Structure 1
């Protein structure tokens, strides 16, 4: 079974890192309304654009999504 993007993102958490994807993961962990079961790029992207003031740039999401795709293949 394929893991959701959120499940993958949680493997990237590291509170002591300056890596932008890891900081994104740390903040997403604290976001109670994050679409935790989604594997859909458009759904997650739309959610982040509308709700994630903790994400300074969608480029960070794009990098995290690419890591997710690479890990799932």
Structure 2
């Protein structure tokens, strides 16, 4: 099963201004991102405490919903 990080990396696009693409681009450079996690609460807590590059948690929530949908 893919981790959220692995899913998020499929959304990377350095030329895009889309919020999820920007999130993915920044997460790629975040050495401490919980790369193996598939746990919403763990990732959410990490982002709230450490991800100054994420302007809104809504972006994470949108990406998480897409991640969940991609598993079906």
The normalised TM-score by structure 1 is 0.97
List runs of 5+ in structure 1 lacking aligned partners. none
Q: Which residue in the other structure is 2:30 paired with?
A: 31
Q: How does 1:43-62 map to 2 (within 5 A)?
A: 43-62=42-61
Cα shift at 1:25: 0.1
Equivalences, count: 72
Q: Specify the alignment match of 1:40 in structure 2.
A: 39
Give the Å deviation of 1:33: 0.1
Structure 2: gaps spanning 5 or more residues: none
* Rounded Cα–Cα distance in structure 1 between residues aligned with 2:48 and 2:4: 16
Moved over 6 A (4+): none
TM-score by length of structure 2 reads 0.99
The 2-side partners of 1:14 and 1:61 are apart by 16
